[in-house]
Amino acid sequence: MVTRTKKIFVGGLSAPTTLEDVKSYFEQFGPIEDAMLMFDKQTNRHRGFGFVTFQSEDVVDKVCEIHFHEINNKMVECKKAQPKEVMLPANLAKTRAAGRSAYDNIMWGLGTLPEGFPAAAYAAYAAGRGYSGYPSFGLPYPTASVMGVVPENRVLIGDYMA
C-alpha cells in the first residue's frame, strides 16, 4: 500500500461532470499538476472516475482526510492512487510475467485447475463449446477424462470433478 503519493483516485463522478469541474473543485486544496478522467473509447463518455495529481504529497494527505467530497451535487470517493501492480494480487502479478493468462492464474490460485495442466489444453477443450474467453459461462471445467488424472483433493463424479 502506497503511503506517500501526489496522485489521488476520484470515483463516483456523475455523467455530466467535466474535467474542469474536477480541477476547479480540487484547486481549493492546493496546486494541481495534472488531472484526467478515464473515458470509454466506444461511447466517448467518461467512466465515472479519474485521477488528480497535485504538486505536493501533503495536499494529497489533506484531501484524503475527507473520504467523500461533493462535486456537482454528487458524493465522490477520494483515495490515494495505487500503482497497477499494487492493485493486482501478488501471485497474479508474478505469474503473469511467466506467461500464464489472468484467467489461468485465478483458476490455479483457487485450486480449480491442477498445477501442470497446460492452458493450451484447456483452450483446446473449450474451443468448440462456446466463447472460450469465459469458460465458466455454462461450460464444465475439464474432467478426469479430458485430463487423464484426478487430483488428490478432488472427487470424480461422472464426468465432473467436485
In tens, the pLDDT along 97-144 reads 555 565 655 554 555 555 555 555 555 555 544 444 444 444 455 544
Confidence of residue 34 (pLDDT cuts 50, 70, 90): very high
Q: Which H helix or E strand runs over 21?
A: helix 19-26
- Give the percent of the chain with pLDDT over 70: 52
Closest CA to 23 of 14, 15, 33: 33
| Grid cell digits, residue 95 | 505469474
Kindly tell me if the per-residue pLDDT of 57 is higher than 50: yes
Give me the helices (H) in 27-147, please. Answer: 57-65, 84-87, 90-97, 102-110, 119-127, 144-147
Kindly tell me if the per-residue pLDDT of 7 is higher than 60: yes
Confidence of residue 85 (pLDDT cuts 50, 70, 90): confident
Most distant CA pair in the chain, distance: 65
pLDDT score, position 153: 53
Give the Cα separation of 98 and 94 in Å (integer): 7
- Tell me the whole-structure pTM to 2 decimals: 0.55
- Specify the pairing of strand 156-157 against strand 74-80: unpaired
* Structural domains of the chain, ranges and CATH numbers in brackets: 7-82 (3.30.70.330)
